[in-house]
């Protein structure tokens, strides 16, 4: 079995925008040595060649800062009139399933992904979406991951395309762009230009009517076949959170 890591490294990157900055403090072994001594164990009773333990503290990391999965609570406090689920309430049965890659690398920046785009790809590649699949949208924009341009570039899903996937029985889906929708600054400008209140965050807000979960900032989708693999996406169990970092992996038998 081949395992492909679809998660970006969690580390400080000076080129990340401020809202994505991750700060981790690494504590060397010698720090713990003095802590153990303070707790009462004499140095002479330390095991031979034992210098203490290393430790690390996450000083700053938003739940949306790295590869993560969004919960319905992120999109709206209610889904179809009922309280939206938070990330700790995701059904684990939905987190491990057959995967399918939909290749949208040909789409230009700010050109949204439509139902026709997806149907055309499936038809040409002779692929089918089955209920319970985890669908991964490949845009190729992970090449900008780690740069200041990452949140500014890319394509994204239309509301009707997201709705269509849910109707096909897909509850977990993901993308290798910064976000599931078109870039936020672009959506904001277009909404102001057109006066259309339905443009901003349109794909996310499908979650107000229909429950679904999506991953953002995936990487390495180029290493996957279009089908014939499984995906595991188990988020951290952060009670009450709108999202959580996840180690997303694909398994090719």
How confident is the prediction along the chain (253 residues), in pLDDT tens digits per residue? 999 999 999 999 999 999 999 999 999 888 777 767 776 878 777 788 877 788 999 999 999 999 999 999 999 999 999 999 999 999 999 999 999 999 999 999 999 999 999 999 999 999 999 999 999 999 999 999 999 999 999 999 999 999 999 999 999 999 999 999 999 999 999 999 999 988 999 999 999 999 999 999 999 999 999 999 999 999 999 999 999 999 999 999 8
| Whether 48 and 91 share a structural domain | no
**pLDDT tens profile 21-38:** 999 999 988 877 776 777
- Please report whether residue 78 resides in a domain: yes
Going by C-beta distance under 8 Å and a sequence separation of 6 or more, which residues neighbour residue 142?
8, 176, 177, 217, 218, 219, 220, 221
Domain boundary among 44, 60, 76: 60
What local confidence, expressed as pLDDT, does residue 53 receive?
83
**Are 154 and 72 found together in one domain?**
yes
The answer as to whether 134 is a domain residue is yes
Which has the closest alpha carbon to 244: 220, 218, 215, 221? 215
In a domain, 10, yes or no: no
- Selection from 90, 94, 114 nearest residue 102 by Cα: 114
Rounded CA-CA distance 52/34 in Å is: 8
Is residue 18 domain-resident?
no
CA distances (Å), origin 233, targets 58, 66, 67, 80, 174: 21, 14, 10, 25, 10
Residue with tokens 């996450």: 58
Check whether residue 132 and residue 107 sit in a common domain: yes
**Same domain as 152, residue 47:** no
Please check whether residue 125 lies inside any domain of the structure: yes
Phi, psi of 24, rounded to the nearest 5 degrees: -125, 130
Do 135 and 179 reside in the same domain of the chain?
yes
Task: Say how far residue 91 (Cα) sits from the centre of its chain.
Answer: 17
Tell me: do 155 and 199 sit in the same domain: yes
pLDDT of res. 85: 98
Q: Encoding tokens for residue 77?
A: 């406090």
Pair (93, 173) in one structural domain = yes
Answer yes or no: is 13 within a domain: no
pLDDT digits (tens, 9 = 90+) for 189-233: 999 999 998 899 999 999 999 999 999 999 999 999 999 999 999
CATH number at 228 reads: 3.50.30.50
| Domain span holding position 209 | 68-252
Same domain, 52 and 110: no
Would you call 192 exposed, middle or buried from its count of C-beta atoms within 10 A (0-12, 13-18, 19+)?
exposed
Instruction: Decide: 3 and 15 in contact? Cβ < 8 Å.
Output: no
Distance CA 51, CA 149 (A): 43
Whether residues 33 and 101 fall in one domain: no
List 136's β-bridge partners, or say none: 101, 174
Same domain, 53 and 121: no
3 assigned to some structural domain = no
Question: What was the pLDDT predicted at 47?
Answer: 84
Same domain, 51 and 102: no
- The answer to whether the CB of 86 falls within 8 A of the CB of 237 is no
Answer yes or no: do 192 and 223 share one domain: yes
Is 16 within the bounds of a domain?
no
Domain count for the chain: 2
Look at residue 13 in the predicted model and tell me its pLDDT.
94
């Amino acid at each position: 079995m081949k395992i492909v890591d679809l998660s970006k490294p969690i580390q400080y990157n000076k080129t990340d925008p401020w809202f994505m900055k991750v700060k981790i403090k690494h504590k060397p072994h010698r720090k713990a040595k003095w802590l153990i001594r303070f707790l009462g164990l004499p140095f002479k009773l330390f095991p031979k060649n034992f210098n203490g333990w290393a430790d690390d503290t996450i000083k700053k990391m938003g739940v949306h800062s790295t590869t993560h999965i969004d919960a319905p609570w992120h999109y709206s406090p209610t889904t179809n009139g009922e309280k939206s689920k938070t990330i700790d309430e995701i059904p684990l049965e939905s987190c491990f399933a057959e995967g399918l890659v939909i290749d949208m690398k040909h789409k230009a920046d700010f050109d949204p992904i439509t139902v026709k785009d997806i149907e055309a790809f499936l038809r040409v590649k002779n692929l089918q979406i089955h209920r319970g699949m985890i669908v991964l949208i490949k845009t190729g924009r992970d090449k900008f991951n780690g740069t200041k341009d990452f949140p500014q570039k890319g394509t994204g899903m239309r509301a009707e395309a997201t709705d269509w996937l849910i109707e096909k029985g897909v509850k977990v889906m993901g993308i290798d762009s910064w976000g599931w929708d078109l870039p936020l600054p672009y959506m904001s400008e277009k909404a102001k230009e057109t006066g259309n209140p339905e443009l901003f965050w349109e794909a996310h807000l499908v979650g107000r009517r229909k429950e679904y979960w999506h991953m953002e900032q995936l990487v390495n989708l180029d290493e996957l076949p279009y089908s014939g693999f499984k995906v595991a996406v188990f988020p951290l169990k952060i009670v009450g959170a709108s999202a959580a970092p996840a180690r997303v992996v694909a398994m090719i038998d």
